[in-house]
Structure 1
Amino acid sequence: MVSASSLLLPSSVRDLASCVSDGAVRVACTNPASTLVTASSAASSSPATLAFTTTYHATPLSPSSRPLLLRLTWSHSPVGPPTLSFAGPTASSPAVHLRRRKGTHSLPSDDDQQQPPLAFFWDLTAAKYAAATSPEPVSGFYFVAVANAEVVLAVGDLAAEFVKTKFEGQIPKARFLPVSRADRVVASPNAMHTARVRFAEGAPEHEVSVGCATTSGGGEELWVSVDGKRAVHARRLRWNFRGNQTVFVDGAPVDVLWDLHSWWFRDPPGCAVVMLRARSALESRLWLEEEAAAPGFALVVQAIKTPP
């Protein structure tokens, strides 16, 4: 099975680990006294979203079944409505692009990769979206995956009703949780991207905003806010293009890392990467192997200057 950490972190963020030491981590608190961040004061536009990818960790009820990592990607299509892709639990599992609005599909077992046979079902015919720029539906849809006679993933407001009807309530449901979300956006230097996430199971949902702005003096700055309260503010980005800081959300540590080197210095420009990752314990240290083996939830924002 592929490790959780290898799926959570894009290569640009993994490379960042070798450039930032634990001793460089700074600590801040997101409290009511923090500076409020608004679109008018720090960023003037919202970036166009290319894709959302959510990775889920499923723990089957059967003791003989291994945990699974399953990925759903919602992306814009050059023509027609947004599309959905699904990737199975191994690094070699190819993504299956679900071009129809409704259907079923199956993936055969792979004994070498310890991958069980998977069947999945989806229906996007009545899907509703929060905005025309978002490829991820908010209601009117379902995606359900089944492995070894267990529901290992059920996403969407219509998923429970589908499972009840399809299997007549006679199928067990594994425990599954989102462990990472990667948002790929097209952004200008004065843009703000917002996502709603939970950093731990049962924790409150938070609105996380990532923005890049040009100051009145012509410099650039990066900021990250949680629920409208500024948590990270990095200035003079052409010098501070890589860095990390630890903030506290719900009393627990969340590591914030950024890497804008290829955004500024590569021709053609690469992507800017900002990651927020919940740490599993207050006393744990960033990038230790045991921390990477069981990471907390991670939000990764990858911004590019021009669409592919």
Structure 2
Amino acid sequence: MVSASSLLLPSSVRDFASCIGDGAVRVADVAACTAPSSTRVSTCSSSSSTTASSSSPTLSVTVSYRATLLAAPAPPLQLRLTWGHSPLGPTLSFAPSPTARAIQLRRRRGSRSLPSGSSSGDENGGGGDESGTTTPPPPPPLALFWDLTAARYDPAASSPEPVSGYYVVAVASAEVVLAVGDLAAEFVKAKFEGQIPRARVAPVSRVERVVVSDPAAMHAARVRFAEGGPEHEVSVSCAPAAPGSGGGGDELWVCVDGKRAVQACRLRWNFRGNQTVFVDGAPVDVMWDLHGWWFREPPGCAVVMLRARSALESRLWLEEEAAAPGFSLIVQAFKSPP
């Protein structure tokens, strides 16, 4: 099994990933997928009339990036941005590694320097411990620049992540290791006069935490499953089964670009599961865990993850995939703010 810590996934996803066996994997085409109830569908339209128009407010959006330096022989940097809400408005936090404590960027515009080794919490700065285990070297010093003064947000999405008018840029070892926002390229050109190379940067995971006040609400996210690939809209919803369908109980729907990719019925029995769909000709594993939603008191969260496989991976969670996991979209849904 793969080391879950290397996938930059939340603990709830790590817990249920090991419960999914190869026997549960099935391949379906997104354009004409076969649901578990053997009902062939072409569009994502819920039995509830409110699903298409109702959306869930987003508590936070966390995006993790992997940056491979071009010149320095160092392990890839793993950077994390978290967009959230506060009584004063949207917030932004930055973490220079998966294990680092996030730094809240309180000013709307500014810069900050992070010294070498500040992300690991290891006072020894790498090397080895008493057991002889080799620890990775600390990341290089990092300079962070951001400007959210003109950031614009989508009022319909109720998301703390801006859609335009901003930039977040990080530089390490004289290379740009992060450039997020529509104004990032302009800032880099003006700040460094275009004389600085860009590291190979790719998003690793995107975690969206939402509150589902309406049981029939639909949450949508726009992602790219492959670097340089087309953008897709992924929507997740849970609604009562249609009358006369024979399914009974609630159903989980996962749709890609308006086409139903997954339909899981009888969720109180099938509260964990997975299927495989093809997006842009490549396999994407869809996994869900609704145990905390149904059976914990107070209720926990429901987790739905879509994870792209890389060229190295022929089935779910291969050991060879630890070094370079495919992109993951994780939706964590709560009945009330945690």
Indicate conservation of the 8 Å contact 1:4/1:293, yes or no.
no
Residue 48 of structure 1 is matched in structure 2 by 57
Q: Distance in 2 between matches of 1:146 and 1:231?
A: 39
C-alpha distance 198-90 of structure 1, shift in aligned 2 (>3 A)? closer
Residue 195 of structure 2 is matched in structure 1 by 170
Q: Distance in 2 between matches of 1:64 and 1:291?
A: 21
C-alpha distance 51-172 of structure 1, shift in aligned 2 (>3 A)? same
Asked if residue 155 in structure 1 is aligned to residue 180 in structure 2, the reply is: yes
Number of corresponding residues: 304
Percent identity over paired residues: 72
Please identify which structure carries the higher strand content: 1
From 213, 227, 247, give the equivalent of 1:201.
227
Q: Distance in 2 between matches of 1:303 and 1:150?
A: 37
C-alpha distance 57-114 of structure 1, shift in aligned 2 (>3 A)? same
Q: Distance in 1 between matches of 2:335 and 2:313?
A: 38
**Amino acid across the alignment from 2:18:** S
Asked if residue 250 in structure 1 is aligned to residue 280 in structure 2, the reply is: yes
Q: Distance in 1 between matches of 2:269 and 2:312?
A: 30
Deviation at 1:140, TM superposition (A): 0.6
Deviation at 1:291, TM superposition (A): 2.4
Asked if residue 233 in structure 1 is aligned to residue 263 in structure 2, the reply is: yes
C-alpha distance 264-54 of structure 1, shift in aligned 2 (>3 A)? same
C-alpha distance 252-73 of structure 1, shift in aligned 2 (>3 A)? same
3-state DSSP of counterpart to 1:238? coil
Deviation at 1:5, TM superposition (A): 5.1
Deviation at 1:18, TM superposition (A): 2.5
Indicate conservation of the 8 Å contact 1:181/1:300, yes or no.
yes
- Listed as ranges, the gaps of 5+ residues in structure 1 are none
Q: Distance in 2 between matches of 1:283 and 1:261?
A: 28
CA RMSD in angstroms, aligned pairs only: 1.9
- Listed as ranges, the gaps of 5+ residues in structure 2 are 34-40, 118-124, 127-136
Deviation at 1:216, TM superposition (A): 5.1
Q: Distance in 2 between matches of 1:147 and 1:17?
A: 34
Indicate conservation of the 8 Å contact 2:313/2:321, yes or no.
no
Q: CA-to-partner distance for each residue in 1:69-120, whole Å, 9 max, x for gaps?
A: 111111111x1220100011251x2101011100111111113252211110
C-alpha distance 26-71 of structure 1, shift in aligned 2 (>3 A)? same
Residues 76-225 of structure 1: pairs in structure 2 closer than 5 A: 76-77=85-86, 79-91=87-99, 93-110=100-117, 111-112=125-126, 113-131=137-155, 133-187=158-212, 188-215=214-241, 219-225=249-255
3-state DSSP of counterpart to 1:23? helix
Q: Distance in 2 between matches of 1:282 and 1:247?
A: 17
Deviation at 1:292, TM superposition (A): 3.4
TM-score, reference length from structure 1: 0.93
